[in-house]
Chain A
Amino acid sequence: MNKLKAAYAYSSCAGCDVAIINLGEKLLSLSEKVEFVYWTTATDFKMEDLKSHKELDIAIAAGAIRTSEHEELVKLLRQKSKLLIALGSCACFGGIPSLANLYDKSKLLNTIYAESPSSSKKNDVPQPLTKLGKMELTIPEFQEWCNPVDFAADVNIYVPGCPPQEGTMDWFVNTINEYYQTRSAPKGMILASEKSLCDTCERKLPQKVSIDKLYRVHEIRLDQTKCFLQQGVLCHGPVTRGGCNERCVKANMPCKGCMGPIPTVRDLGAKLISVIGTILQSDDEKQLGEEGLKKVVDEIHDLTGSLYTYSMPLSYVEKIRRKRSI
């Protein structure tokens, strides 16, 4: 059989590229079946090279869509390829860059280019088109919203994780091998467990939990065996897909939700608010009263950011924000 032609476009921190390179020998065996014709991190290719190919088999998109160039690339990949893979949490759900969606575009650009102490000229926000004498200089436009890949094109396979973990990457290689054999592209397949992380977590949660406040990770010495929620630290485990081998939990850090929400959860943040609401001061509600509880809730730092660390564009608050801005 012919080799599969693959293209890899990214707009991310290149952590997902490292996840592919980390495949090691599996990458060598994969290279017998797949030929990379475009991969800017690994080899020197330009957009023209990608445009010169009439047809591709596999396209991998990593990173969220932030600028007009990212969107153009994703649309180009979709148009030319039969199998589009979203690699990494940014491509699947927006990831960390999409937390910027909590602020307007003008606010973001002003903070970086005008208000920051290091900016030399005030109000020096770069424009997509700059005229310099007779010359016209262009840069990609910074878009209003930061989107996951499936906002611009239909995705065949989602590979979540920040970056995708070894087990997920093995699954990814198997899927490509399968595609090599059958040449049938799945639709919207997610390479993660249908069950929550808590399902496989070894830490035990007691029947009744009451925490005195929601701690940030640096404020507390964490126990290696107790459930994080019991210790008062926000853990996304109850609402996040498993399949990542609990690498964070094993390193004594709470889950941040990079594998995305489980299918039964419509809004990850709202569901977590439900969880926190249940356990926060649950033993002393009546003694504290409304005033006392309000103080405890007011102390929570950056609630929205910690709830939607990896999946802001999937949230209802953002959907509402988008409809308000039109």
Chain B
Amino acid sequence: MNVQFEPKIVAFLCKWCASAGADLAGVSRLKYPPTLVPMQVLCSSRIDPQFIMDAFEKGADGVLIGGCHTPNDCHYITGNFKAYKRHLMLQKMLEEAGIESRRLRLEWISATEGRKLAQVATEFVEEIQKLGPLKR
């Protein structure tokens, strides 16, 4: 029997755009893999890099960050840029430590883009499935 690896994925979604997008995806009955666990935060810049590393350490195989489109969509003016810089540095750190930086992904998803969220979720799960579990 060939059991396919089901990755655990935590998605931190900002309340104003990405999370609203996830709501829209739900209301529109779009399908995306159940292994992705969405988590609402007030702003993508509220995601402390510690949360992300915590998630990886506690068993997540991938982390998705969803925020508002740059440059002008952020509800808190520049929160998305803060999240962007932090995610770049975290990716750099993961790469330097020999961990695939693709396991951390950032996407800008607006409240109207339920379809994009479903698509990103599906793609991301497939990619992590190819990479395999984080801890072997």
Q: A286 within 8 Å of B by Cβ?
A: yes
Residues B39-82 near A (CB distance < 8 A): 48-50, 52-54, 56-57, 70-72, 78, 81-82
A19-27, A71-79, A86-94, A293-301: which lies at the B interface? A293-301
Q: A42 within 8 Å of B by Cβ?
A: no
Residues A58-107 near B (CB distance < 8 A): 102
Main secondary structure of the interface of A (DSSP, over half): helix
A102 to B95, CA, bound (A): 11
Q: A203 within 8 Å of B by Cβ?
A: no
A320 contacts which of B56, B70, B82, B84 (Cβ < 8 Å)?
B56
A270 engages B90 (CB within 8 Å): yes
Q: Can you list 7 A-B pairs, Cβ within 8 angstroms, ordered by A?
A: A102-B96, A265-B50, A267-B54, A290-B70, A303-B89, A317-B53, A324-B135
A285 engages B78 (CB within 8 Å): yes
Least Cβ–Cβ distance between A201 and chain B, in angstroms: 23
Main secondary structure of the interface of B (DSSP, over half): helix
B81 engages A270 (CB within 8 Å): no
| Shortest Cβ distance from A317 into B: residue | B97
Given contacts A317-B53, A320-B135, A321-B99, contact A286 B81 (CB under 8 A): yes
Q: A280 within 8 Å of B by Cβ?
A: yes
Least Cβ–Cβ distance between B76 and chain A, in angstroms: 12
Q: A316 within 8 Å of B by Cβ?
A: yes
Least Cβ–Cβ distance between A145 and chain B, in angstroms: 13
Interface bits A269-302 vs B (CB < 8 Å: 1, else 0): 1110110111011100110011001100110101
